[in-house]
Amino acid sequence: MRLLLVEDDDLLADSLSEVLEDEGYRVDVAALVREAKALMASEEYNLVILDLGLPDGSGLDLLGCWRREGHALPILALTARDSWEDKVSGLRRGADDYLTKPYHEAELLARLHALLRRGSNAVESILRLNGIALDEATKQVCGIDDRWHTLTATEFCLLRYLMRHPGRVHSKIRLLDQLYTLEQDAAAPNLVEVYVGRLRRLLGKNVIQTRRGQGYVFPSH
Average pLDDT value for residue range 119-129: 64
Which residues, in sequence order, are CB contacts of 136 under 8 Å at separation 6+?
A: 24, 113, 125, 126, 127, 160
CATH number, domain at 145? Answer: 1.10.10.10
Residue 186: pLDDT over 70: no
95 plus 25 within the same structural domain: yes
Indicate whether 101 and 25 sit together in one domain.
yes
Decide which of 75, 100, 119 is a domain's last residue: 119
Residue burial 56-67, b: 16+ Cβ < 10 Å; e: rest: eeebbebbbbbe
The answer to whether residues 172 and 203 belong to one domain is: yes
Q: Percentage of residues in the chain with pLDDT exceeding 90?
A: 35
* Contact (CB, 8 A) for 11 and 34: no
pTM for this prediction: 0.62
Average pLDDT, integer, range 6-32:
91
Q: Which of 72, 99, 119 is the last residue of a domain?
A: 119
- Opening angle at CA 56, ends 43 and 17, nearest 5: 50
CATH number (domain holding residue 48): 3.40.50.2300
Q: How far apart are CA 37 and CA 35, in angstroms?
A: 5
Domain span including residue 144: 126-217
Tell me what the mean pLDDT of segment 119-140 comes to.
75
Are residues 147 and 208 part of one domain?
yes
Q: Which of 119, 154, 177 is the last residue of a domain?
A: 119
What's the per-residue H, E or C state across 196-207?
HHHHHHHHCCCC
